[in-house]
Structure 1
Amino acid sequence: MKRIGIDVGGTNTDAVLIDKTTVLGAVKSPTTSDVMSGVVNSIQRIVKEQGDARLDIDAVMIGTTHFTNAVVERARLDRVAAIRIALPASASLKPMVDWPADLRACVDPLTFMIEGGHEYDGRPLVPLDKNAIREAAAQIRDAGVTAVGITALFSPLTAECELEAAEIVASIVPDARITLSHRLGRIGLLERENVTLLNASLQSLGKATVAAFRDALKSVGIVAPFYLTQNDGTVVLAEVAAANPVYSFASGPTNSMRGAAFLSGRDEGMVIDVGGTTSDVGCLVNGFPREANNIVEVGGVRTLFRMPDLLPMALGGGTIIDPQTGKIGPRSVGYRITEKALVFGGDTLTTTDIAVAAGLVEIGDRDRVKHLDKSLVKQHLAGIHAMIEDGVDRMKTSAGDMPIIVVGGGAFLVPDRLAGVSEVIHVEHAGVANALGAAMAQVSGEVDQVFSGMTREAALASAQEIATRRAVEAGADVETINLVDAEDIPIAYLPGNARRVRARVVGTIGSPGMKLVA
């Protein structure tokens, strides 16, 4: 099965062509300001490399930073309507209470706080105020808002109120795009509501992004199904991803981690992905990124949902070094490195210039950095290595030394020896590990909810069934699905043998039913 994997980063757009587990071609191109032309350029180069060979492409996997960038840049976001079903509880803290003021102004929310929801043990708090839902829906319709996020108290335990409210809203606002919190977040009300509203604000961008990628692929002759990468190291059909764009947050680093696992043949260990702008340190568990179990901020918004446990650092191949103070970062020349770095004839000292001057890598014109003082070069390298060692130490969960796999276009910045590291593993194709991780990704299905009134075995079986159904909806072949992770935690003080169950399954992509000839 031939696939193309593409990863759009802040500095470079990488693409690979694989046939099962064999890498047939790999290219790295500068990311363009309009993104899509960079994607087209990368695919055209991949196709050109194959010469006259016939390409039967089964699928295209794309990793993109579109959605994270939209939140960070406060741009391309929809106005949202927030419906919280929790009164008389939670009245003192309104929706988006902890959002940065500029982001809140960008989505200009309509907020409604309505009676309903459930107690922690599944009992109704108060009856759902259906009339208030109807009135809210009418105001949403009259305001012309179509992005709606619905959050109910303890809905991960009992989703009844959210489902009923969604049905009412859809009957009054037929074109509404509704996000329900129990399908995304965990029990914490505010963080779950936050990710729900972020998702609602991004859905039209998700639809537009998928359409733009489809047009870009068609422009180079590709009509195969395509998928977007997710932040758990898997992929879903593009149309499914467009409905839940928040699951693409941090998908770039997870692509790199999956690529690192594939290239090194290791399922356990640490990974550092050194890009052009930033580096990400993470941990592999059973070949997949370790999941964060705490609150993760996205664009200044506190969220609690499925996210990889990563430590981002302002260190990359394009990181700027102040020649006066020797300070490394946090600013970077990004995709303009071929214009700004000294080795390319620019006037900005970067970490790449230091690496070239030290003889670690051959990039650009080494003669342009011969004037750099050797002692300063050594000093800057020591500072870079100290940053990496600190990042690794912060992500370790035990005091012992651990192996680390190095990937990314700036992998040359990582030395062969580091304090606290048992082995530094450099791999072939490290510069395009992100695109490779996308290309060989599987499809996943996940569930994280509370089950009660059944035995432990029945709860685990129900969770696996739900996760399997979600994987099939996302594009997995049901015959290939395997359970890769499951855990259950009994919940004290809840009746009915209640337990929180988390389960994840993965499978290969289903038969696409169509092929590409390029």
Structure 2
Amino acid sequence: MHIGIDVGGTNTDAVLVRGRTVLASCKATTTADVTGGIVAAISGLRHAFEPRQVTAVMIGTTHFVNAVVEGRDLARTAAVRLGLPATTALPPFVDWPDRLRQAIGGHAYLCHGGHEYDGRVISPLREDELEAVAEDLAAKNVESVAISSVFSLVSNEFERQAAEVLTARVPGLLVSFSHEIGRLGLLERENATIINAALRVLAGQIADGLADSLRAQGVDAPLYLSQNDGTLMDLDHARRHPVATFASGPTNSMRGGAFLAGADDCAVIDVGGTTTDIGVLHRGFPREASSEVLISGVRTNFRMPDVLSVGIGGGSVIRDDGGTVRIGPDSVGFRLADEALVFGGDTLTATDVAVAAGLADIGDRARTRHLGRAFVQAALDQIQHRVDHRLDRTRTSPEPMPVVLVGGGSALVQRLEGASKIVRPEHHAFAGAIGAAIAQVGGEVDRVFTMAPGTRDEVLDGARQEAVDRAVAAGARAGSVRIVEVEEIPLAYLPGNASRVRARAVGDLLPGH
């Protein structure tokens, strides 16, 4: 048995799954500390299992992205870039919002090092420079450091050597490597690594807290966190790479919805309590964003699902502005059960409109009788239009595509112009938790290769095998691993037949890993 948990802005959902069968489900209110909601959700499943029956627990959490957005609980962080005499024009943190930079300290250092695209050294690493940096880090009580080197995706040698020098002189210093976090593009890769470094202390605290919460429920099964590519990572990996959890919630909902509907290629619309997330799946996995991703105003380039969000959900506040209906973007969020009209509150929400229209049967419908039919229909039409508009932006062809509706607020969407068919599967309200429970283990290779004449097939086969090996090393059962994506992008602006090659493999979780 697996337990899957999805932490949303309004609700924390938990499901108990055996194979492809959902045995039990529970919806609890998300708490301010998040962990409390997780404990309550697991408690709601306790009638359906004995602790020894659970072989794995998978959690999709918003802990880390919330910390960045709110600028709280972040470690004192420094950025060390290896690239002198190049890269001086745009130093680390050059494009960061002042608020976020100040929240983490924002110390930046430029040192010699780095490589060209073909592996040639820009300048040798200078240990004396790094020793001086280490002394300054210690003096400023820096807890975590992000090390980035020019073209570290070609060679990570200097990043590793720099870490050895720094950690030898600053015991306990946490290190994040850019070649493990981001992709091509120095500034964006560096930014992603800095964000990861700033979350390292919090990641350790949360990992310990989640493990303690499970033990308090008598569950001693391995704990995994969901990544934003639809795969899993264990707690040790999560402590080192917390940014990999960003957008894992929408990813889980998309994969869970496709799983419930039995579809591999479709669009999934997840209508939650706060937002509606729309994404497209290919071969059962979310389409990835092809451009840079903004995280709290910072440009990054680590993998993220291509998801469009709109501020519409079951908790969205609805106002009558002189005869004009206004929906959101503010939401009562996890206070829905206290503030919505149908639950005895005094705030008109999208849930109240759904109940008034007969689309949902929850709470006290009598408290919505004063809402006029025209007003209710106008609100539903506006929701329909805004969701339809976002769905149209995800399309890559004019052909209608199948759409899977999931989420507790999915009753708000009844028709879609761009859909060939609409499926609202059983257990649709728990799609995020189910997506977490069925998640697989992945391995990925993404770097620049120089292809000599006649070696292309050999290079691609090597990348595929490396992706498979990484999946197995991460805990996948060897016989279940398959390649789900291979992408080759020739870099025409570079000489020497250079190409960026990206290969992804996934496999089922090895029991007991």
Query: Normalization by structure 1: what TM-score?
Result: 0.95
| 1:126 CA displacement | 2.2
Matched, 1:424 2:422: yes
Whole-Å separation in 2 of the counterparts to 1:398 and 1:494: 32
Aligned residues: 509
Matched, 1:359 2:358: yes
Whole-Å separation in 1 of the counterparts to 2:250 and 2:375: 31
Alignment partner, residue 492 of structure 2 = 492
CA contact (8 A) 1:452 1:495 kept: no
Alignment partner, residue 376 of structure 2 = 377
CA contact (8 A) 1:271 1:405 kept: yes
Give the stretch that moved more between structures: 187-196 or 156-165: 156-165
Whole-Å separation in 2 of the counterparts to 1:497 and 1:392: 38
Alignment partner, residue 89 of structure 2 = 92
Matched, 1:387 2:386: yes
Alignment partner, residue 19 of structure 2 = 20
Relative to structure 1, the CA distance from residue 493 to residue 419 in structure 2 (aligned partners, 3 Å threshold; closer, same or farther) is closer
Alignment partner, residue 316 of structure 2 = 319
| 1:403 CA displacement | 1.4
Give the stretch that moved more between structures: 280-289 or 170-179: 170-179
Whole-Å separation in 1 of the counterparts to 2:260 and 2:377: 31
Give the RMSD, CA atoms, in angstroms. Answer: 1.5
| Partner SS for 1:322 | strand
Matched, 1:109 2:112: no
CA contact (8 A) 2:79 2:108 kept: yes
**1:233-279: CA deviation from partner (whole Å, max 9, x where unpaired):** 11111221121000100000000011011100000011111110011
Whole-Å separation in 1 of the counterparts to 2:141 and 2:117: 35
Counterpart of 2:161, as a letter, is E
Whole-Å separation in 2 of the counterparts to 1:14 and 1:493: 48
| Partner SS for 2:66 | helix
Alignment partner, residue 125 of structure 2 = 128
| 1:493 CA displacement | 5.4
Whole-Å separation in 1 of the counterparts to 2:359 and 2:140: 59
Give 1:47-446 correspondences, 5 Å limit: 47-49=46-48, 56-324=53-321, 325-415=324-414, 417-446=415-444
| 1:54 CA displacement | 7.7
CA contact (8 A) 2:118 2:450 kept: no
Alignment partner, residue 470 of structure 2 = 470
| 1:465 CA displacement | 3.3
Whole-Å separation in 2 of the counterparts to 1:480 and 1:259: 20
Q: Return 5+ residue gaps in structure 1 as ranges.
A: 514-518
Alignment partner, residue 445 of structure 2 = 447
CA contact (8 A) 1:146 1:173 kept: no
| 1:444 CA displacement | 0.5
| Partner SS for 2:325 | coil
| 1:49 CA displacement | 4.2
Whole-Å separation in 2 of the counterparts to 1:9 and 1:242: 21
**1:214-239: CA deviation from partner (whole Å, max 9, x where unpaired):** 01000010011010000001111122
Give the stretch that moved more between structures: 261-270 or 158-167: 158-167
| 1:430 CA displacement | 0.5
**1:139-167: CA deviation from partner (whole Å, max 9, x where unpaired):** 11232213010111121122222122122
The runs of 4+ residues in structure 1 deviating greater than 4 Å are: 493-496
CA contact (8 A) 2:52 2:220 kept: no
CA contact (8 A) 1:186 1:305 kept: yes
| 1:511 CA displacement | 2.4
CA contact (8 A) 1:278 1:313 kept: yes
Give the stretch that moved more between structures: 388-397 or 478-487: 478-487
Counterpart of 2:471, as a letter, is A
CA contact (8 A) 1:489 1:500 kept: yes
| 1:393 CA displacement | 0.8
CA contact (8 A) 2:225 2:234 kept: yes
| Partner SS for 2:184 | coil
CA contact (8 A) 1:121 1:494 kept: no
| 1:104 CA displacement | 0.6
| Partner SS for 1:457 | helix
Counterpart of 2:164, as a letter, is E
Whole-Å separation in 2 of the counterparts to 1:458 and 1:252: 37
Whole-Å separation in 2 of the counterparts to 1:288 and 1:82: 33
Relative to structure 1, the CA distance from residue 373 to residue 93 in structure 2 (aligned partners, 3 Å threshold; closer, same or farther) is same
CA contact (8 A) 2:117 2:448 kept: no
**1:152-196: CA deviation from partner (whole Å, max 9, x where unpaired):** 112112222212212221222231211111111111111000000
Give the stretch that moved more between structures: 128-137 or 387-396: 128-137
Relative to structure 1, the CA distance from residue 54 to residue 512 in structure 2 (aligned partners, 3 Å threshold; closer, same or farther) is closer
CA contact (8 A) 2:51 2:220 kept: no
Alignment partner, residue 516 of structure 1 = none
| Partner SS for 1:376 | helix
Alignment partner, residue 10 of structure 2 = 11
Counterpart of 1:489, as a letter, is I
CA contact (8 A) 1:266 1:287 kept: yes
**1:367-398: CA deviation from partner (whole Å, max 9, x where unpaired):** 00011011111111100100111110111112
CA contact (8 A) 2:2 2:57 kept: yes
Whole-Å separation in 1 of the counterparts to 2:459 and 2:25: 45
| 1:453 CA displacement | 5.4
Whole-Å separation in 1 of the counterparts to 2:180 and 2:408: 36
Whole-Å separation in 1 of the counterparts to 2:331 and 2:450: 51
Whole-Å separation in 1 of the counterparts to 2:154 and 2:95: 25
| 1:482 CA displacement | 1.6
CA contact (8 A) 1:444 1:471 kept: yes
Whole-Å separation in 1 of the counterparts to 2:37 and 2:30: 5
Whole-Å separation in 1 of the counterparts to 2:252 and 2:498: 35
**1:293-326: CA deviation from partner (whole Å, max 9, x where unpaired):** 1011111111111110000110100000112342
| Partner SS for 1:399 | coil
Whole-Å separation in 1 of the counterparts to 2:470 and 2:131: 30
Counterpart of 1:423, as a letter, is K
Q: Return 5+ residue gaps in structure 2 as ranges.
A: none
| 1:479 CA displacement | 3.4
Counterpart of 1:443, as a letter, is V
Give the stretch that moved more between structures: 463-472 or 490-499: 490-499
Whole-Å separation in 2 of the counterparts to 1:61 and 1:411: 24
CA contact (8 A) 1:485 1:505 kept: yes
| Partner SS for 1:389 | helix
Counterpart of 1:463, as a letter, is A
| 1:106 CA displacement | 0.2
CA contact (8 A) 2:451 2:499 kept: no
| Partner SS for 1:266 | coil
